[in-house]
Structure 1
Amino acid sequence: MKILHTSDWHIGKQLHKYDLSPDLDLFFEWMINYIKSANIDVLLISGDIFDQANPSQAAYKQYYDLLKNLINLDCKIILTGGNHDSAAVLNAPKELLRSFDITVIGGATDNVSEMFVEIDKNGEKLVVAAVPFLKDRDIRKSVAGETYATKIEQIKSGLETYFSNINRYYQEHFSGEPFIVMGHLYVQGSTMSDSERDIQIGNQAGVEAYMFEEIPDYVALGHIHKPQLISQTQKIHYCGSPIPLSFSERKDHKQINVITIKDQAITDVEIVPIPKHRNLITFEGNLQEVVGKLEEYSEETTLKSLAEIMVNEEVESIERRQTFEELINSQPNAHLEIVKSRLNFKSKIRGASDAFAVGTDVADVTPMQMFEKKLELQSGLENTDELKLAFREILQELNL
C-alpha cells in the first residue's frame, strides 16, 4: 500500500494581491498524474485546505474541480481542517463526499472514534487517526483570571492529553496494525516561514515530539510550510506546502512524502520533489543596484516570476521616492513582476506614522503584527503578554 502525504494547499491564496491559483492548478495536475503513475492508494491532506475560513467562489471551484478529478482514481482520500479552515465549510459536503470514498474531518469531534479511518487495500491494512487543527476550546477549559503562563501550560498539557487519548484508542481497538496520525500544529524545533499564522497563542505553546509517544508508525503533520523531518526514529514529518506562499519560502524545495506499507509495516518514506513552475526572487540594495539586478534577470519559467524589491538609501529625498515609485509602476523586466516593494532611509525621523517601512502595503501586515506594533508605540503599558494573548484569542474565534 502506498500513501501520499501533503498539506497546506491554501486554496485561494494571494501573494501580495497576486493570485496563486495557476500555481496550484499545475501542482494538482502533477499530483493527479503522480497518483496514477505511482499507484497511490491513500491521499492524506493534513489541514489548511483553504487560505480563508470563508473561501471565494473561485477557491470553491478550484477545490471541487480537484475533487471531481480525484474521485475518478482508485484512491482513498482523507482530509482534515487546519487553522485557516472553517470546520463548518469543510464539513458541509461531508456526507456527500463520503459516498466517493472521501473522508472529511473539518474539526475535532466529541467522539474520538469518529476520527479513526480503517483502510484495507491490496492485502494490507492501515489505521489513520485524522486529527484536525485543535482549537483552544477543544483542549482546555478557560477560567477567568488565568495568567498568560498558565494558559500556555494548559494548552501544552491539553494537546498532550488529546494525542495520548488518540494513541490509547488505537491500542485498545487496532493494536498491531500500521498506524498513521495526522495533525495540524506546531512541534518545537521545526523551522517556520513568514506565511504561517499563529497557532494556540503563538509558538510558545508548541509541543515536544515525545508527545506522540512513539506509538504511531508515521506522523503526517501540517501547518509548517517548510518541509522537514522532526524525528527520524518516530517518523514525524512536515511535508510542507506544495508551492511557496511567501518570499521567505523562495529557497525551499517543495515535496510530497510517499509512505510504503508492506507486510503490515512501513518499509519506506520517499521524499518526492514537486516541479517548480515559478521563481520568487528578492532584490536588495540601493536604488541603482536594484535597478541593475532587475534589468539583468533573464530566467524564464512556466509562470512569470514574482519579485520583492528592498531599496535601502542613506538620505531621504523626494527625488528618490519618486524614482522608486516609477520603478515599481514601470515593471522593468518582462520575465518577472514586482509584487512587493519597500523603501528604507537610514537618515529619517521616525514617528507614529512610521510604524512600518515606506512601501509597506497595509494588506501585507497581519492583524497581529499591527496590534504588536501598536503596543510598541504605546509607552508605559503593562501586561503586554496578556493583551497579546487576548487579541490572539479574538482572532482565533473570528478565524482571522
Structure 2
Amino acid sequence: MKILHTSDWHIGRTFHTHPTLDHLGTVLGALVEIVRDRQIDVVVVAGDVFDHAMPSKESYAVLTAVLRELKAAGAAVVLTSGNHDSAARLGFQSEWASLAGIHVVTSYDQYLHPITLTDAHGPVNFYGIPYLEPVLVRHLHPGVTLKTHEQVLGFAMDQIRVDMAARPGRSVVLSHCFAAGGVALSEASEVERDITVGGLDVVPLGVFDGPDYVALGHIHGRARLSERVRYSGAPLHYSFSEAGKPRGGWLVTLDADGLGSVDWVDLPVPRRLSVLEGPIDELLHDERYGVREHDWVKAVLTDQVRPLDGMRTLQTRFPHCVTLEHRPAVTVETDGATYAERIREATGDPEIVAGFLAFVRNGAGPTEFESALVAELLTEQGITEVDS
C-alpha cells in the first residue's frame, strides 16, 4: 500500500496579511497529480486542515475541490483535526463522507474504531487521533490522570496497542503534537502556536511504540524522529523562519510485513521566501538581487539611519516585500546614562545635537562632516553655548 503523509494544510491562513488560498490551491493541485502519477492508495493529513476554527466559505471550497480530485485520482483520504481546527465544523457530515472514501476523524474516541483499508497483502488499520486537549477530555476518564498531552496521548496509544494486538493487519497512527526529539523541535517556527496554554507540552517518542508507521503533524518542517515516526511539515511556507525548508510529503510504502520504504516527495513552491540584508541603496540597485524581485521578501536594512518610507521604496523593486526590519550595521555601546542625563551634562549646543544623533542612531554619533556642518550652522545663528 502506498500512503502519502501530509499535514498542516492551514487552509485560509494569510502570509503577512496576504491571502494564500491561490498558492495553496496550486500546491494541492500538484499533490493530486503526484497521487495520480504514482498511483498512491491513501493520503493522510495529520491535523490542522484549516487555519481557523471558523473557516471562510472560500476555505471550504478549496478543501472540497482537493478532496474531490483526490478521490477521482483513486486515493482514499484519512484526515484528523488539529489544534487550529474546530472538530465539530471539520467533522460535519463525516459519516457520509466516509462512504466516498473520505475519512474525517474528529471525535475524541474515534481512534478506538480504526479505518481499515485493504491491499494485496491484507488489511491496514488507520488509527486517527484528533487533537485532544487534556482539559476537555480528562473528565471522560475520571480514574486516569490526564493533565498533560503526554498523558493523554499515552492513554490513547495504550488503547490502540490493545486493539492492534487483537486485530489482524498492519497499522498506521495519525497524531498532531510536539513529539520529543531535537530534530523536531529545531524544525519548529514561530507559526506553531503553543499546544498548551502553559507552554510547550512535549510527548516522548516512546509513546508511539508499536505501529508500523506514525504520521505526525504540527511541526511545519519535515523531520525524521525515527524510521517509522516522522513529520511531513506544511505544504506551503507560512513564515520567513521556514525559508529554505523543502515542502512536500513522505511517500510511505507498506509491504506484507509492515514498513517497506519511506521516500520524500517534493511539492512546488509558488513563491520563494527571501531575507535580504544590506543598505537600502544596495538592495534597490545591486544586480544580484534581480532574481529575488518576485519573491516574498523580508528586508533587513543596515543603514545607520532608518530610511524614510523604506517599505514603499523597496516595493518599487520588490512588489512582494512584506516586512522590514531596521538593524544598523554599526552600533556603539553607551555608558548606560539616559538621554535626559546626557542632555543635562552637555556643555553646549553641539553636544546636545551629538547626543540626539547618538540617541536615534543606536549610539553612533555624528560624522566628522555632520559635526562641522552643525558647528557652522550654530555659528551663523550666533549660538555657541547652552543658555543658562
| Same topology, TM > 0.5 | yes
Taking a change above 3 Å as real, the CA distance of residues 202 and 73 of structure 1, as seen in their structure-2 partners, is farther
In the alignment, structure 1 residue 195 sits paired with structure 2 residue 195: no
**Which residue number corresponds to residue 323 of structure 2?**
340
**Which residue number corresponds to residue 162 of structure 1?**
156
Of the candidates 275, 291, 297, which is equivalent to residue 307 of structure 1? 297
**Which residue number corresponds to residue 47 of structure 1?**
47
Q: Structure 2 CA distance, aligned partners of 1:123 and 1:155?
A: 35
CA apart distance, 1:170 = 1.9
CA apart distance, 1:289 = 3.7
C-alpha offsets along residues 321-364 of structure 1, whole Å, 9 cap, x if unaligned? 42424424x4324xx511112235668989xxxxxxxxxxxxxx
Taking a change above 3 Å as real, the CA distance of residues 210 and 31 of structure 1, as seen in their structure-2 partners, is same
CA apart distance, 1:156 = 2.8
Q: Structure 1 CA distance, aligned partners of 2:221 and 2:74?
A: 29
Amino acid at match of 2:123: K
Amino acid at match of 2:316: Q
CA contact under 8 A between 1:224 and 1:240: conserved in structure 2?
yes
In the alignment, structure 1 residue 324 sits paired with structure 2 residue 317: no
Q: Which has the higher contact order (CA 8 A, sep 6+)?
A: 1
CA contact under 8 A between 1:107 and 1:134: conserved in structure 2?
no
**Which residue number corresponds to residue 375 of structure 2?**
none
Amino acid at match of 1:341: L
CA contact under 8 A between 1:152 and 1:205: conserved in structure 2?
no
Task: Please give the secondary structure, in 2, of the residue aligned with 1:299.
Answer: helix
In the alignment, structure 1 residue 5 sits paired with structure 2 residue 5: yes
**Which residue number corresponds to residue 120 of structure 1?**
118
**Which residue number corresponds to residue 221 of structure 1?**
216
Moved segments of 4+, more than 6 Å? 347-350
CA contact under 8 A between 2:6 and 2:250: conserved in structure 1?
yes
Taking a change above 3 Å as real, the CA distance of residues 343 and 98 of structure 1, as seen in their structure-2 partners, is same
Q: Structure 2 CA distance, aligned partners of 1:99 and 1:153?
A: 36
**Which residue number corresponds to residue 388 of structure 1?**
none
Q: Structure 2 CA distance, aligned partners of 1:287 and 1:160?
A: 53
Task: Please give the secondary structure, in 2, of the residue aligned with 1:251.
Answer: coil
Taking a change above 3 Å as real, the CA distance of residues 155 and 65 of structure 1, as seen in their structure-2 partners, is closer
**Which residue number corresponds to residue 364 of structure 1?**
none
Taking a change above 3 Å as real, the CA distance of residues 279 and 112 of structure 1, as seen in their structure-2 partners, is closer
**Which residue number corresponds to residue 231 of structure 1?**
226
Task: Please give the secondary structure, in 1, of the residue aligned with 2:95.
Answer: helix
Amino acid at match of 2:276: F
C-alpha offsets along residues 367-386 of structure 1, whole Å, 9 cap, x if unaligned? xxxxxxxxxxxxxxxxxxxx
Of the candidates 248, 255, 269, which is equivalent to residue 262 of structure 1? 255
Task: Please give the secondary structure, in 1, of the residue aligned with 2:24.
Answer: helix
C-alpha offsets along residues 184-228 of structure 1, whole Å, 9 cap, x if unaligned? 000122120121111024653101111112x11111001000001
Q: Structure 2 CA distance, aligned partners of 1:8 and 1:46?
A: 7
Amino acid at match of 2:40: I
State the aligned residue count.
326
Amino acid at match of 1:212: F
CA apart distance, 1:280 = 0.5
Q: Structure 1 CA distance, aligned partners of 2:291 and 2:278?
A: 20
Q: Structure 2 CA distance, aligned partners of 1:58 and 1:297?
A: 35
Amino acid at match of 1:324: G
Taking a change above 3 Å as real, the CA distance of residues 287 and 131 of structure 1, as seen in their structure-2 partners, is same
Stretches of structure 1 that go unaligned for 5 or more consecutive residues are 143-150, 351-400
C-alpha offsets along residues 3-29 of structure 1, whole Å, 9 cap, x if unaligned? 111111111111001121222112111
CA contact under 8 A between 1:125 and 1:264: conserved in structure 2?
no
In the alignment, structure 1 residue 29 sits paired with structure 2 residue 26: no
Task: Please give the secondary structure, in 1, of the residue aligned with 2:50.
Answer: coil
**Which residue number corresponds to residue 176 of structure 2?**
184
Q: Which structure has the larger Rg over C-alpha atoms?
A: 2
C-alpha offsets along residues 88-119 of structure 1, whole Å, 9 cap, x if unaligned? 1111121221221111012423x6423x1111
Pairwise CA RMSD: 2.7
Q: Structure 2 CA distance, aligned partners of 1:155 and 1:298?
A: 47
CA contact under 8 A between 1:308 and 1:341: conserved in structure 2?
yes
CA contact under 8 A between 1:243 and 1:254: conserved in structure 2?
yes
CA contact under 8 A between 1:11 and 1:51: conserved in structure 2?
yes
Amino acid at match of 1:157: Q
In the alignment, structure 1 residue 282 sits paired with structure 2 residue 275: yes
Amino acid at match of 1:307: V
CA apart distance, 1:34 = 1.1
**Which residue number corresponds to residue 174 of structure 1?**
167
Taking a change above 3 Å as real, the CA distance of residues 287 and 299 of structure 1, as seen in their structure-2 partners, is closer
**Which residue number corresponds to residue 272 of structure 1?**
265
Stretches of structure 2 that go unaligned for 5 or more consecutive residues are 340-388
Taking a change above 3 Å as real, the CA distance of residues 266 and 13 of structure 1, as seen in their structure-2 partners, is same
**Which residue number corresponds to residue 349 of structure 2?**
none
Q: Structure 2 CA distance, aligned partners of 1:331 and 1:202?
A: 44
Task: Please give the secondary structure, in 2, of the residue aligned with 1:30.
Answer: helix
Task: Please give the secondary structure, in 2, of the residue aligned with 1:39.
Answer: coil
Q: Structure 2 CA distance, aligned partners of 1:123 and 1:326?
A: 61
Give TM-score, length-normalised by structure 1.
Answer: 0.74
| Structure 1 residues 78-93: aligned runs within 5 Å | 78-93=78-93
